[in-house]
């Protein structure tokens, strides 16, 4: 009988026969003037970043995964799944709900879209069948609530994991007001071999920095900044990244990863520093917005210029899920930051 680690490794081989991508993107959800999801705009965005991105989280926090209703979640997932299959990419499907029963309900609807591989073909063959569907896993957060105990969190996550699906655990206390402790993570990983991913956007890095056995789970960092130092090649804590800013800087972030892989650390660190300064400034600019979240708002503000170029109309900014546009003063300030850091394109990908 295989150990949990051996079974997890079989799942990873099946899901990713060519190896696990080290840079993932939680794709933005774009909207038209009426607030409806604009799938043509999303496809154009994918065309622009897909040369450097082979894995996506849809819908993630950056893609309004917490705000989308059930129908919107299913529609955006159906779109992303078709795109992933066409492009040979892998999709982590976001099931971002605060209550376990809501996760279960949404997950049931999502499985009707993805389909479920049939039969008992063995772990690696089953994983390969999921991969052929374009699915790398289903992404869930711990149950939400700042009064939950670790026992509560473990029970809630176990109820999802008992379904036997390939799963990514997502640490996002900024939204959930709860956090999986390292010891809880270790127990779950030791029991459930189909936990293949762990994403931490907390900025605290408690699990990655802990001494608990991570069981071979692929660890990706979602918190922004100082990218080069977090990779294994720099004696960092993570195998890769799942970054909101991959929506805007897919090429640059892939160059950071490649630089670390090829011992070109000086170039990687310099680019990492330039990106960090840019992103910190833009995140500060969008803090005043009352709608959406900082990940979404910052990336939509930057993507506006990457799409339409330096002369992009700041008075018709990108639409948010709330059906509010990002204001012109926010966009004008963002353009100045991109220009100062030499990240403003000569021509946008939609121009």
CB 17 within 8 A of CB 131: yes
Quick check: 230 pLDDT over 70? yes
State mean pLDDT over 335-346.
98
Quick check: 118 pLDDT over 80? no
Domain assignment present for residue 161? The answer is yes
Domain assignment present for residue 22? The answer is yes
Quick check: 121 pLDDT over 90? no
Cα distance between residue 62 and residue 247, in whole Å: 9
Domain assignment present for residue 292? The answer is no
Q: Is 113 helix (H, G, I), strand (E, B) or coil?
A: helix
Q: How confident is the model at residue 107 (pLDDT cuts 50, 70, 90)?
A: very high
Cα distance between residue 46 and residue 218, in whole Å: 24
Q: What is the pLDDT of residue 123?
A: 86
No. of helices (H) and no. of strands (E), the chain: 13, 8
Q: What is the pLDDT of residue 120?
A: 59
Tens of pLDDT, residue by residue over 179-225, are 999 999 999 999 999 999 999 999 999 999 999 999 999 999 999 99
The phi, psi pair for 19, rounded to 5°, reads 100, 155
Domain assignment present for residue 291? The answer is no
Is the peptide bond between 59 and the residue preceding it cis, with omega within 30 degrees of 0? yes
- 152: number of Cβ within 10 Å: 15
The pTM (predicted TM-score) of the whole model is 0.96
Left, alpha or beta for 215 (phi > 0: left; psi -120 to 50: alpha)?
left
Q: Is 274 helix (H, G, I), strand (E, B) or coil?
A: helix
Beta bridge partners of 162: none
Residue 152 Cα to chain centre, angstroms: 25
- Evaluated on CA atoms 174, 180, 181, 182, the torsion sign reads negative
- As a whole number, the mean pLDDT across the chain is 97
State mean pLDDT over 315-333.
98
Tens of pLDDT, residue by residue over 48-99, are 999 999 999 999 999 999 999 999 999 999 999 999 999 999 999 999 999 9
Domain assignment present for residue 12? The answer is yes
| Structure token pair of residue 127 | 């994983």
Cα distance between residue 127 and residue 234, in whole Å: 31
Q: How confident is the model at residue 119 (pLDDT cuts 50, 70, 90)?
A: low
CB 76 within 8 A of CB 43: no
Domain assignment present for residue 315? The answer is no
Cα distance between residue 125 and residue 3, in whole Å: 17
| Structure token pair of residue 78 | 């159906």
Neighbouring residues of 315: CB distance < 8 A, sequence distance ≥ 6: 328
Quick check: 16 pLDDT over 90? yes
Domain assignment present for residue 342? The answer is no
Cα distance between residue 156 and residue 143, in whole Å: 6
**pLDDT above 90 coverage of the chain, percent:** 96
Q: What is the pLDDT of residue 351?
A: 85
* Eight-state DSSP code of residue 325: B
- What is the domain-level CATH number for residue 181? 3.20.20.70
Q: How confident is the model at residue 117 (pLDDT cuts 50, 70, 90)?
A: confident
Q: What is the pLDDT of residue 194?
A: 97
Tens of pLDDT, residue by residue over 265-312, are 999 999 999 999 999 999 999 999 999 999 999 999 999 999 999 999
Please give the tally of structural domains in the chain: 1
Q: How confident is the model at residue 243 (pLDDT cuts 50, 70, 90)?
A: very high
Domain assignment present for residue 118? The answer is yes
Which residues span the domain enclosing 145? 4-255
The residue ranges of DSSP E strands in 141-182, in sequence order, are: 167-171
Burial class (CB in 10 A: 0-12, 13-18, 19+), 150: middle
Q: What is the pLDDT of residue 122?
A: 73
Cα distance between residue 48 and residue 350, in whole Å: 9
How does 94-116 read in b/e, with b if 16+ C-beta sit within 10 Å? bbbbbebeebeebbeebeeebee
Tens of pLDDT, residue by residue over 159-190, are 999 999 999 999 999 999 999 999 999 999 99
């Amino acid at each position: 009988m295989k150990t949990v680690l051996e079974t997890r490794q079989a799942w990873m081989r099946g899901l990713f026969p060519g190896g696990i991508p080290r840079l993932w993107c939680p794709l933005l959800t774009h909207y038209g003037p009426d607030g409806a999801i604009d799938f043509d705009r999303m496809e154009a965005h994918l065309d622009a970043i897909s040369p450097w991105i082979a894995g996506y989280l849809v819908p993630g926090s950056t893609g309004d995964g917490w705000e989308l209703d059930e129908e919107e979640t299913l529609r955006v997932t159906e779109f992303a799944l078709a795109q992933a299959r066409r492009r040979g990419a892998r999709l982590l499907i976001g099931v971002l709900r605060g209550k376990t029963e809501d996760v279960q309900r949404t997950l049931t609807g999502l499985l009707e879209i993805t389909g479920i591989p049939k039969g008992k073909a063995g772990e690696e063959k089953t994983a390969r069948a999921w991969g052929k569907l374009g699915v790398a896993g289903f992404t869930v957060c711990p149950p939400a609530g700042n009064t939950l105990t670790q026992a509560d969190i473990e029970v809630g996550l176990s109820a999802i994991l008992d379904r036997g699906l390939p799963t990514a655990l997502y640490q996002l206390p900024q939204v959930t007001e709860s956090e999986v402790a390292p010891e809880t993570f270790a127990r779950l990983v030791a029991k459930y071999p189909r936990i293949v991913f762990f994403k931490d956007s907390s900025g605290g890095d408690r699990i990655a920095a802990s001494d608990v056995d991570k069981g071979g789970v692929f660890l990706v960092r979602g918190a922004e900044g100082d990218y080069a130092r977090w990779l294994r090649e720099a004696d960092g804590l993570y195998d890769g990244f799942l970054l909101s800013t991959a929506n805007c800087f897919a090429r640059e972030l892939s160059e950071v990863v490649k630089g670390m892989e090829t011992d070109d650390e000086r170039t990687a660190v310099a680019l990492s520093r330039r990106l960090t300064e840019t992103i910190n400034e833009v995140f500060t600019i969008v803090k005043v917005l009352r709608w959406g979240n900082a990940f979404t708002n910052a990336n939509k503000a930057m993507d506006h210029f990457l799409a339409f170029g330096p002369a992009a109309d700041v008075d018709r900014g990108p639409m948010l899920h709330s059906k509010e546009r990002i204001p012109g003063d926010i966009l004008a300030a963002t353009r100045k930051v991109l220009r100062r850091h030499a990240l403003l394109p000569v021509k946008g990908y939609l121009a």
